Structure 1
Amino acid sequence: MKIAFAGKGGSGKTTLSALFTRHLAATGLPVVAIDADINQHLGAALGASPDQLRALPPLGSHLTEIKDLLRGSNPRIASAEQMVKTTPPGRGSRLLDLSPDNPVHRRFGLPVAGATLMLTGPFAEDDLGVACYHSKVGAVELYLNHLVDGPDEYVVVDMTAGADSFASGLFTRFDVTFLVAEPTLRGVSVYHQYAEYARDYDVTIRVVGNKVEGPEDVEFLREHVGDALSVCLGRSAFVRAMEKGHHPGLEELEDDNAKALAWMRDAVDAVPKDWERFTRQGVEFHLRNARAWADAATGADLSAQVDPDFVMGPLALAAR
């Protein structure tokens, strides 16, 4: 399952991304954690050292390499230069799974906290005034477009704050989006913005209340987000320790918060996988991007990259 953590800056989404990653990885199941936030803190939250993070090649700085790998022998994609962040896979594309043989994980992944960590990379000084962070996050979109995840396999993505993921079809690449909201007006405003943008795309959004101190906070969240509120986590000494750079064992997490994490996993596992919808939405946003800017940028008709007989999923991976 592909899972996004979104929310406003300071809501605790990175901390909850790390905590949920650790919760899943503690079961021994395959878990990938991707830091797609412009502020790259997920690795530190998982316990990676500064030296390890400096040595880890960022996805966003190796787009051409990733595109060459993923296009494989697909005859519809002439070159990496004609492959954009929304380019969908087709027959001949290199599809990925969560096995140890995944070449993207081997090249860009770091084992940490029982998971495989990958980074998009920070917004560099050379990018100022000439690039946008969406180009780096495009590497994550390409990875997700080509990944066939199976039962009891998880990819957790810490998204950039706010609603920036709506600059492309990235927001449709997830089985579940956890919107982390504090019990404040600013905390719930991002949910309303996210829900409005995603309204027509059959996107599953679950609100996770964070830093909740009592029934009044729960009532406030329910008043403003309704049935979208799924679970709440209270203020936590365990989380405070994480935020100070410590990494206590999960057995020290407060019982109520541990139960909240277990509920979140149950909520994810209950969402049915729909590969036909995944394929259809990917094609829709690719065609939209092609018309809006990508055809002009590449000098090619990128609608020709769509393989009309291809459906992403386990059958496509087996055939490949």
Structure 2
Amino acid sequence: MKIAFAGKGGSGKTTLSALFTRYLAARGVPVVAVDADINQHLGTALGVPEHRLDRLPALGAHPTEIKEVLRGDNPRIASAEAMIKTTPPGRGSLLLGVTGENPVHARFGAPAHGATLMVTGPYAEEDLGVSCYHSKVGMAEMYLNHLVDGPGEYVVVDMTAGADSFSSGLFTRFDMTFLVAEPTLRGVGVYRQYADYARDHGVEIRVVGNKVRDEEDVEFLREHVGDALAAWMSHSGFVRSMEKGRHPELADLEEENVKTLGRLRDMVDATGKDWARFTRQSAEFHLRYCRSRTDAAELAAQIDPDFLMGPDALEVKRPSHETDKTDK
């Protein structure tokens, strides 16, 4: 399942992304964590030492390399340069699994509390006045477009803060989007804005209350977001310690907050997987993105109308040596 954590700056979405990643990994399930926020703090929240983060190659810094890998032998894509961030996979494209041989994980991933961490990279000095952050986040979108996640496999993405999460088709790539909101008018106002953006695209947004002190805060959230309220995190000494740069053992997290993480996982697991919609939305947002370009016709021709993303497509693209191992 692909899961996004979104919200306004300071709401605690990066902290929740890290906690949920650690919770899943501690239960022995495969989990990938992607930092797609312009402020790159997920690795730090996961306790990855600074010197290791400095050496971690960023997805956003290597677009040509990633495109060259993912285009595979797709006859509709003549070169890596012909791909844009929304170019959907088709027959011949290299599809990725969460486990097993994955060249993107091997090149750009690093271990983090039992998970695999990847980063889109920060907004650099050389980007000022030249490019926007969407080009870096576009590599996360391309990765998710080519990723076939199976039952019991999880990809957790820490989205950039604010409405920028909806500036591309990235927001449609998730099975569940958790909006982290404090029990304040600003916090719940962000939910209404996000819900309006997502309504026409079949994107389910559930609210996770954060920094909740008492039942009055819970009732405030219920009053303003109704049934969208999934769960809430109470004020936490554990989280406060994380915010000071310490990394206590997950076993020390308050029991009520552990139960909240469990409820979030249950909610994700109960969500149906719709590969047909995933494939359709890939094509829709690719067409939408390329309408304003002079090469729109060439880009539209990259869509393979007979391709359906999902486990069957991944099975077709399994490397021959993996097939040989399975057959033995």
SS in 1 for 2:210: strand
Q: CA deviation at 1:224?
A: 1.0
SS in 1 for 2:130: coil
Match of 1:306 among 303, 307, 314: 303
> Who is 1:76 aligned against?
76
> Who is 1:135 aligned against?
135
RMSD: 0.9
Q: Which runs of 4+ in 1 moved over 3 A?
A: none
SS in 2 for 1:131: coil
Matches within 5 A, 1:1-320: 1-293=1-293, 296=294, 301-320=298-317
Amino acid at match of 2:283: V
- Deviation by residue 1:227-258 (Cα, 9 ceiling, x = unmatched): 10110110000001111111111111111100
Q: Is the Cα–Cα contact under 8 Å of residues 290 and 301 in structure 1 kept in the other structure?
A: no
- Deviation by residue 1:107-137 (Cα, 9 ceiling, x = unmatched): 0000010000000000000000110000000
Q: Is the Cα–Cα contact under 8 Å of residues 82 and 300 in structure 1 kept in the other structure?
A: no
Q: CA deviation at 1:165?
A: 2.0
The TM-score with structure 2 as length reference comes to: 0.95
SS in 2 for 1:292: coil
Q: CA deviation at 1:100?
A: 3.6
Amino acid at match of 1:4: A
CA–CA distance in structure 1, aligned partners of residues 250 and 168 of structure 2: 36
How many percent of aligned residue pairs carry the same amino acid? Answer: 72
Q: Is the Cα–Cα contact under 8 Å of residues 238 and 252 in structure 2 kept in the other structure?
A: yes
Amino acid at match of 2:9: G
**Residues 208 and 189 of structure 1: is their aligned pair in 2 closer, same or farther, counting only changes over 3 Å?**
same
Q: Is the Cα–Cα contact under 8 Å of residues 95 and 314 in structure 2 kept in the other structure?
A: yes
CA–CA distance in structure 2, aligned partners of residues 16 and 201 of structure 1: 25
CA–CA distance in structure 2, aligned partners of residues 208 and 25 of structure 1: 20
Amino acid at match of 1:116: T
CA–CA distance in structure 1, aligned partners of residues 221 and 281 of structure 2: 31
Q: CA deviation at 1:3?
A: 0.2
CA–CA distance in structure 1, aligned partners of residues 92 and 54 of structure 2: 34
Amino acid at match of 2:97: D
The TM-score with structure 1 as length reference comes to: 0.98
Q: Is the Cα–Cα contact under 8 Å of residues 70 and 95 in structure 1 kept in the other structure?
A: yes
CA–CA distance in structure 1, aligned partners of residues 178 and 292 of structure 2: 29
- What are the ranges of 5 or more consecutive residues in structure 2 without an aligned counterpart? 318-328
- What are the ranges of 5 or more consecutive residues in structure 1 without an aligned counterpart? none
> Quick check: 249-258 or 173-182, which moved more?
249-258
CA–CA distance in structure 1, aligned partners of residues 119 and 142 of structure 2: 14
CA–CA distance in structure 2, aligned partners of residues 312 and 208 of structure 1: 30
SS in 1 for 2:208: strand
- Deviation by residue 1:21-46 (Cα, 9 ceiling, x = unmatched): 00000011110000000000000000
